[in-house]
Amino acid sequence: MSENASLPRHIGFIVDGKSAMGKTAWLAGTYEGHLAGYNALKDVVLEVLHRGVKYASAYVFSTENWKRSEEEVRHLMKLLLNILKADLPIFIENEVRLRVVGSREGLSDQLIKAIDEAEEKTADLKNGELVLCLNYGGHLEIADAVKKIVQSGVSPEEITPELIAQNIYAPEVPPCDLIVRTSSEQRLSNFMLWRSAYSELMFIEKNWPDMTTDDVSVILEEYANRNRRFGK
Ligand code: IPE
Ligand code: MG
């Protein structure tokens, strides 16, 4: 969409942190808390894509998050189902393609059906893509890629970084130019391990539910000032 190198092609969001009220949280607490986090996610992602960034990914549930309480996992799964069903028209209206990457193991049939439907109904939309990393883990993604490669019967000499890149989830989605994590946490927590090799990292103090479209300007401005060298 954009020829402008100072604009990232792909931003990954690690949505983290409690809201200012201290009551609500994304990935820590109530359904309402998660909902506040999701509403911020929708606003920020739509704004980012509107500005010409082609891909936004969001880490909404990790392969490790099953270790959370049963209640919290239930809240999150319910919210994710709602997003995929109730908010599908919003993504369609904005011509945003939805992709969901991660393992399907442990997900309910209902959720799997909603994922398939959301992906199918938005497959031809061209105003940017939202990649939901749901039951996603960077280690598992690489292990799954290796599994596919081995099953295809290639010889060890044929294994290259390019071949691995072609076998990760949604291989058309490019590396993350930028990864943003909120709530002052400074780690990747198994997010986009393959695609983060040369990502710029941005850590924001704000908690995710407090993020607004104004923050998008700040993020894009800071990115434009980064000096990316890729080893040169
Ligand atoms: C990363 O946060 C995962 C998501 C935002 C989905 P976690 O809370 O799971 O990771 P750690 O435990 O803080 O590293
Ligand atoms: Mg955490």
Mean pLDDT, residues 183-195: 97
User: pLDDT tens across 93-113, in order?
Assistant: 999 999 999 999 999 999 999
Per DSSP, the three-state class of 232 is coil
**62 Cβ below 6 A of ligand 1:** yes
Torsional class of 2: left (φ above 0), alpha (ψ -120 to 50), beta (otherwise): beta
The question of whether 16 is a catalytic residue gets the answer: yes
Q: Give mean pLDDT, residues 50-63.
A: 97
pLDDT for res 1: 40
What is the rounded distance in angstroms from the CA atom of residue 136 to the CA atom of residue 211? Answer: 23
40-49, pLDDT tens digit by residue? 999 999 999 9
Provide the pLDDT for residue 75. 85
> Is the minimum distance from the CB of 72 to ligand 1 under 6 angstroms?
no
- What per-residue confidence (pLDDT) applies to 37? 83
Choosing from 14, 133, 189, 203 the residue with most ligand 1 atoms within 8 A of its CB, the one to mutate for a pocket test is 189
pLDDT in tens, 16-27: 876 554 444 444
65 as an active site residue: the answer is: yes
| Confidence class for position 14, pLDDT limits 50, 70, 90 | very high
Q: Which residue of the set 65, 135, 167, 207 is catalytic?
A: 65
Name which residue sits closest to atom 3 of ligand 1, judged by CA: 62
In the reported structure, the alpha carbon of residue 189 is separated from the centroid of ligand 1 by a whole-number distance in angstroms of: 6
Write down the pLDDT at residue 29.
54
- Write down the pLDDT at residue 30: 64
Residues in contact with 76: Cβ distance below 8 Å, sequence separation at least 6, in sequence order = 27, 34, 60, 61, 65, 68
pLDDT attached to residue 17: 78
pLDDT at 23: 45
Q: Quick one: which ligand is closest to 182's CA?
A: 1
Q: From CA 141, how far away is CA 125, in angstroms rounded?
A: 25
Taking the model in full, what pTM does it have? 0.94
Q: Give the Å distance between the CA of 53 and the centre of ligand 2.
A: 27
The pick from 13, 27, 208 for probing ligand 1's pocket by mutation, whose C-beta has the most ligand atoms within 8 angstroms, reads: 27
Let me know: does 135 contact 160? Beta carbons within 8 Å. Answer: no
The verdict on the CB of residue 38 being under 6 Å from ligand 1 is: no
Per-residue pLDDT band for 4 (boundaries 50, 70, 90) equals low
For ligand 1, atom 13: residue with the closest CA: 189
Name the band, by pLDDT with cuts 50, 70 and 90, for residue 220.
very high
Average pLDDT value for residue range 205-229 = 96
Q: How far is the CA of 27 from the centre of ligand 2 (A)?
A: 8
Q: How far is the CA of 140 from the centre of ligand 1 (A)?
A: 15
The reply to whether ligand 1 has any atom less than 6 angstroms from the CB of 207 is: no
Coil, strand, or helix at residue 5? coil
